[in-house]
Amino acid sequence: MRKAGVDRDREEFADFYQRSRDNCLRAVLASTGNRALAEDLVAEAFARAWASWHKVNRHPAPAAWVVRTALNVRVSWWRRHRREVALDGHDQAEVADDSAELHDGLLAAVRRLPQRQREVVVLRIWLDLDTNTVADVLGISAKTVAVHLSRATATLRAQFVPVASQGVPS
């Protein structure tokens, strides 16, 4: 009986992982700009989701739980790494250079957004969450989500236009 429950949990988690892993990685990558780091963070967050699957499974948006966990892990990782770097006498700029790998103006603009706007954009764009679910996940009102999204979109549009115009023949 217990084994059947474990097997069912594994199936559910495997299905969740297959469906959400790419979008979770994209969401975290958009926030960090470093592919290898993003993949490690997402893997760790999924592992934590599996470790607490009974809780995460009941979350209104489990993929959002994974993304937020990954980004929280990143904060811990950064703090730990910063200490290690200081002890080793290495240059911290090596870690801080998030934009070197992507070379993409749009993604750089996403990372420059204020934190709340960035969270709304990431959850909305890559996890396809509606306004109410984003509000639930972030613990803010739906109206506030709409305001953040509107401001973020305006910022991104301003960034996007010159990029788009580069490919338009005069």
Partner 1 sequence: MNDDEVLDAVKQTLSGVRMDRPIDTIERRGRVRRRRRKLLGLAAGGGLAVLAALALALPTATNRPGTFPGGGPSLSPAAFSLVRQQDQTVKLTLNYEQILDPVALEDALADAGIPAVVKTQALCFPAKKELPSARRVFRTEQVSWPDGSAKETALVIDPAMMPKHSLIYFSILKLPPDDKFGKVARVLVADDDPMVCREFRR
Interacting residues toward partner 1 by CB under 8 A: 10, 13-14, 17-18, 21-22, 24-26, 29-30, 35, 39, 42-44, 46-53, 104, 106-107, 110, 121, 124-126, 149-150, 153, 156-157, 160-161, 164
Residues 119 and 64: their CA atoms lie apart, in Å, by 10
Q: At how many degrees (to 10) do helices 105-112 and 115-126 cross?
A: 130
Amino acid identity, position 25 = L
Q: How far is the CB of 101 from partner 1 (least distance, A)?
A: 11
Smaller CB distance to partner 1: residue 25 or 37?
Answer: 25
Q: How far is the CB of 152 from partner 1 (least distance, A)?
A: 9
Residues 132-161 as b/e (b if ≥16 CB within 10 A, e otherwise) read: ebbbbbbebeeebbeebbebbeebbeebee
Q: How far is the CB of 10 from partner 1 (least distance, A)?
A: 7
Q: How far is the CB of 17 from partner 1 (least distance, A)?
A: 5
Smaller CB distance to partner 1: residue 38 or 138?
Answer: 38
Smaller CB distance to partner 1: residue 37 or 91?
Answer: 37
Smaller CB distance to partner 1: residue 19 or 90?
Answer: 19
Could you give the C-alpha distances from 154 to 24, 54, 106, 124, 158, in angstroms and in order? 24, 39, 12, 15, 6
Q: How far is the CB of 169 from partner 1 (least distance, A)?
A: 18
Smaller CB distance to partner 1: residue 95 or 106?
Answer: 106
Residues 31 and 113: their CA atoms lie apart, in Å, by 10
